[in-house]
């Protein structure tokens, strides 16, 4: 099933030994945030105990050590996605949301104008929609959406129709946080560039789960988050091609992002400092480095293979439960480790509470994708999402817990079965 020892891996994650309501924790909410290995936790503590200082500005020992560790995380993040110039093309933010807002504001306000078009997929997270809605209001640009089919995949002919000479940016998730669908962002980038547009990839779900090479994709921007890939919360990454970042204006003003300041005007620092105003989240950026090391030691190909196996096992197991409706591709090779489903007429929030009582953590709701929910003709879904430390036994526990919910609520699937 996998190229590494799951039991050995799980020993690195202290929280996985926890019990919830007296039951062993089954953590299936990895698309929201992942758990942290001991190596990340220890690095965070080490910084505060031994290196705590502000970065870039001080000449004393602690400041120099903290700066070196911070910049090492930048280099590792850049190498992880194969950035050509990590020291200039990797910008640290708070999260994927802020990274996309940075592009929308610093690039969009400068380069978009009335009549220009911004193209998305119909499955975008709100973080890759609302920032562009706001910029469209101020620039006069128009939003267009590539439709999806009933299997949750992009309709390629619609992409060909929507990406035109009016398109200025294509902003698409590489992996849907709801459906798990893996989108053809390399091909979309080629279409965008052929039309004279640029390409932004929301990599929040893809970068933690599969090999991602920005030079192979030829995307102009890629946004992702530390906390979805074993690292601390509060750390986002924006990759941008150097020439495009150079042409953009700053997003935030303040300390560190300047060269010279007078009462009347300022000149701005070189990359990446131009986009990192003020004191950053130093400790958590530094603790991001061992998370990257951990993933690279396992190998992203091995992680992807494990997730395909366990996701397919979950799809097949859930599909066999009467009353379960699945959303998105049924072939795990076409998707990431997120499985969205509903169970009879039971509201996903009620289902989530029942599963929690059994020690099982899933996500329930619209998953910050309300337009997609309307496309699926549902108010919400339940979502089980997997990562490198999940086991098949946890999928079995999920399926068994559905029977508990069925007994507790008198689920519609039971009523249908009894009527036959």
Rg (CA), the chain: 22
Helix, strand, coil shares of the chain as percentages rounded to 5? 45, 20, 35
Phi, psi of 327 (to 5 degrees): -125, 140
Which of 114, 28, 126, 77 is CA-nearest to residue 285?
A: 77
Which structure tokens are listed for 85? 């110039």
CB atoms within 10 A of CB 119: 27
Helix pair angle (300-319, 392-409), 10° resolution: 30
**Contacts with 123 (C-beta within 8 Å, 6 or more apart), sequence order:** 148, 152, 173, 176, 178, 179, 181, 369, 372, 375
**HSE-up of 318 (CA within 13 Å, CB side)?**
25
Start-to-end CA distance of the chain, whole Å, equals 38
Which of 216, 221, 267 is CA-nearest to residue 242?
A: 221
Peptide bond into 16 cis (omega under 30): no
**Contacts with 172 (C-beta within 8 Å, 6 or more apart), sequence order:** 119, 120, 121, 124, 128, 146, 183, 185, 188, 199, 200, 201, 202
- Rounded Cα distance between 266 and 295, Å, is 41
DSSP 276: -
CB 203, CB 225: distance < 8 Å:
no
CB 170, CB 222: distance < 8 Å:
no
From the candidates 6, 130, 134, 368, give the one annotated as an active-site residue: 368
Catalytic residue flag (residue 219) = no
The alpha carbon of residue 84 and the mean position of all alpha carbons in its chain are separated, in whole angstroms, by: 22
DSSP result, 187-245? HHHHHHHHTT-EEEEE-TTTTTTS---HHHHT-SEEEEEGGGTTS-SS-EEEEE-HHHH
The alpha carbon of residue 396 and the mean position of all alpha carbons in its chain are separated, in whole angstroms, by: 26
Catalytic residues: 368
């Amino acid at each position: 099933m996998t190229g590494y020892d799951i039991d050995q891996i799980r020993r690195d994650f202290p929280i996985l030994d926890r019990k919830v309501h007296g039951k062993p924790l089954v953590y299936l909410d990895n698309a929201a945030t992942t758990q942290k290995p001991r190596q990340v936790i220890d690095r965070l503590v080490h910084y505060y105990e031994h290196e705590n200082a502000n970065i870039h500005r001080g000449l004393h020992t602690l400041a120099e050590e903290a700066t070196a560790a911070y910049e090492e995380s930048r280099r590792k993040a850049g190498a992880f996605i194969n950035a050509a110039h990590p020291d200039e093309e990797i910008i640290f933010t708070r999260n994927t949301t802020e990274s996309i807002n940075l592009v929308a504001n610093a690039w969009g306000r400068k380069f978009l104008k009335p009549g220009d078009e911004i193209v998305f997929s119909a499955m975008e997270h709100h973080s890759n929609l609302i920032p562009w809605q706001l910029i469209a209001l101020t620039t006069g640009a128009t939003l267009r959406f590539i439709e999806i089919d009933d299997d949750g995949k992009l309709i390629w002919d619609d992409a060909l129709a929507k990406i035109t000479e009016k398109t200025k940016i294509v902003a698409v998730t590489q992996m849907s946080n709801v459906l798990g669908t893996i989108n053809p962002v390399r091909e979309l980038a080629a279409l965008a560039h052929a039309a004279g547009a640029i390409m932004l990839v929301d990599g929040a779900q893809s970068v933690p789960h599969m090999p991602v090479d920005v030079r192979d994709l030829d995307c102009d921007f890629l946004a992702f988050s530390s906390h979805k890939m074993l690292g601390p919360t509060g750390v986002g990454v924006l990759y941008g091609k150097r020439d495009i970042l150079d042409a953009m204006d700053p997003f935030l003003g303040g300390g560190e992002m300047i060269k010279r300041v007078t009462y009347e005007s300022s000149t701005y620092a070189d990359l990446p400092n131009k986009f990192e105003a003020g004191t950053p989240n130093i400790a958590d950026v530094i603790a991001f480095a061992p998370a990257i090391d951990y993933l690279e030691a396992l190998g992203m190909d091995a992680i992807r293979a494990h997730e395909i196996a366990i996701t397919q096992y979950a799809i097949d197991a859930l599909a066999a439960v009467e009353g379960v409706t699945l959303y998105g591709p049924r072939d795990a090779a076409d998707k990431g480790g997120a499985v969205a489903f509903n169970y009879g007429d039971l509201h996903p929030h009620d289902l989530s509470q029942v599963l929690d009582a059994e020690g099982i953590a899933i996500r329930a709701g619209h998953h910050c994708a309300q337009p997609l929910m309307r496309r699926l003709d549902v108010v919400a879904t339940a979502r089980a999402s997997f990562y490198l430390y999940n086991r098949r036994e946890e999928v079995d526990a999920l399926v068994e817990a559905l029977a508990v919910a069925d007994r507790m609520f008198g689920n519609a699937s039971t009523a249908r079965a009894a009527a036959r």
